[in-house]
């Protein structure tokens, strides 16, 4: 999060998650390690385009949050 420009904090991450919308959704992947569904979003934010991967586990949400990088 600190590598983003401007640097992000946990409140910024929560705000990005709260603002995710249908058009931000990109794809559903399956984890090779756990077999879990991973939902990929690519929102445009104050930090620029981000790559946000969300896994829902019972009462827990796991998030990967970083700058979008062209492949």
CATH number at residue 31: 3.30.2310.40
- Cα atoms found within 13 Å of the Cα of residue 13, Cβ hemisphere only: 18
Residue 44 lies in a domain: yes
What residue numbers bound the domain in which 17 lies?
Answer: 10-67
For the chain, list the strands marked E by DSSP: 25-30, 37-41, 44-45, 48-57, 60-67
Q: Considering Cα of 23, then 28, then 29, then 34, what sign does the dihedral take?
A: positive
pLDDT for 24 beyond 90: yes
Residue 4 lies in a domain: no
Q: Mean pLDDT across the stretch 39-54?
A: 89
The whole-model pTM stands at 0.77
Percent of the residues in the chain that have a pLDDT greater than 70, as a whole number: 90
Residue 15 lies in a domain: yes
Residues 18, 3: Cα–Cα separation, whole Å: 21
Which of these, 38, 45, 55, 1, lies nearest to 19 by C-alpha position?
45
pLDDT for 71 beyond 90: no
pLDDT for res 69 = 66
pLDDT band at 67 (very low <50, low <70, confident <90, very high): low
Domain count, the chain: 1
Residue 63 lies in a domain: yes
More confident residue, 38 or 61: 38
């Amino acid at each position: 999060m600190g590598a983003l420009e401007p640097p992000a904090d946990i409140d910024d991450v929560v705000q990005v998650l709260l603002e995710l919308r249908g058009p931000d959704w990109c794809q559903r992947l399956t984890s090779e390690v756990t077999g879990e569904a991973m939902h990929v979003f690519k929102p445009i934010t104050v930090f620029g385009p981000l790559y946000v991967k969300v896994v829902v586990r019972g009462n827990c949400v796991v998030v990967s949050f970083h700058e979008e990088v062209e492949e």
